[in-house]
Structure 1
Amino acid sequence: MPRVLLIDDDRELLELLRDYLQGDGFSVSAATDGHTGLKAVLGDAPDIVVLDVMMPGINGMQVLTQIRTLSPVPVLMLTAKGDDTDRIMGLELGADDYVPKPCTPRELAARLRAILKRSQNAPSQKQDTRVPITVGALTLWPAKRRAQRAGKDLALTSTEFSLLEVLARHAGETVSKQQLSEEGLGRPLSRFDRSIDVHVSGIRQKFGLLSDGSSPIQTVIRMGYQLVVE
């Protein structure tokens, strides 16, 4: 039973989400402020965290920043509808995905399952996750969710790892944003969704540059991204 931690100061919403998620097979704990939520991340060891951006005191962005120094647990942000700034900032700080409020419990449950599926690396009928993937100086161990470049570990979030794995399996080929979203995020790419671009930017920063100063992940205009074979 997946363990979900909800962090939101809206008690009515918390009760609604708790009741639905428990009925849908999740084990749910909740915190109504950021400080309590941070303690619960360490004490309850949840499988995934749902974190609201707008909270009094320590806000969701501050909580996310501290979570990322404490734990690699996947985090789904609840953002204001239409607020691209919060969404992009959350992704840049290490959130795995976001859902705009107001959201339906059913949509939230579907997003949680998609994130958990990729973070826990559910076995694929087409791919043997036990076999390392090597592309030049890059090596991925899908079953361990571990990545190295030139012998140095890459501190990737779960979502960043999933997207890099898709690119690595198609190294030298152009991978569309739609394919990256479906295979890496577990959902279709919606219109005006910049999640892929933000996550790829994060991977690039952690990846470093090639000897000629270019990025190993090239942008193919109006098509997608390509992992260059070093």
Structure 2
Amino acid sequence: MLTILTICTPKMTKTFSELFVYSTFFEAKFIFVMDYADAVQKFYLLNPAALVIECTTSDAEEIKTFYTLTKTTPLLAVSARPDEDTAIAAYQNGATTFIRLPCGSREFYYRLFSILKKCYQIPFNELHATIDIGNIKIYTKSNRVLLNGTIVNLTHSEYNLLLLLAQNVNKTVATEEMYQRLWASGELKHTSRGLQMHLSKLRRKLGLNDDTKVRIITIHGKGYCLSTADYLL
């Protein structure tokens, strides 16, 4: 888990949260701080992998405050100000890079991790722990699922079932194994009806109908299979 300390004004927390959405898929944790004295304390306590600081004025004094604390932690200056002076001042005060809002969540992610990769030699490809099946993307580190680029809210049980099926694409997963994934072995109060209910909800949320390329097929007397002709091993 990479901790990113974020210093911004209260009115910008929603904007920054939206900016960080894509990065959170890859185990980046953003700690928000609004008070500068508290931010300094948090900096020493957390030893963050990077700092994200909102620049609210053209002289970007906020950057200078934190640059004097360390010259080894990457410092990303972010601002909604349209003037060029803010960007120039941010760089002059020690910012590693300057990001002008609005900025897409995916763009921010690639800019952030490009900097982290250079500074810490992070194994960039290892952060992309995903399983891609058709229009479904499963982020196995953050337990998130996207359908056509949109987050799908799955319950813990639904996610576990999907992950089990996705790890065995085009293979039959035994019903007993699915029971074990849903219920602890010490309390096997499972029923086929309960399993079918979870699968029904999973099909509905992911649009896995009979006429789609990706389907959950019932293998009578054996189990279930996440089937697709487009999956490459």
Range of TM-score over shorter length? 0.3 to 0.5
Q: TM-score, normalising length from structure 2? A: 0.46
Structure showing greater Rg: 2
Q: TM-score, normalising length from structure 1? A: 0.46
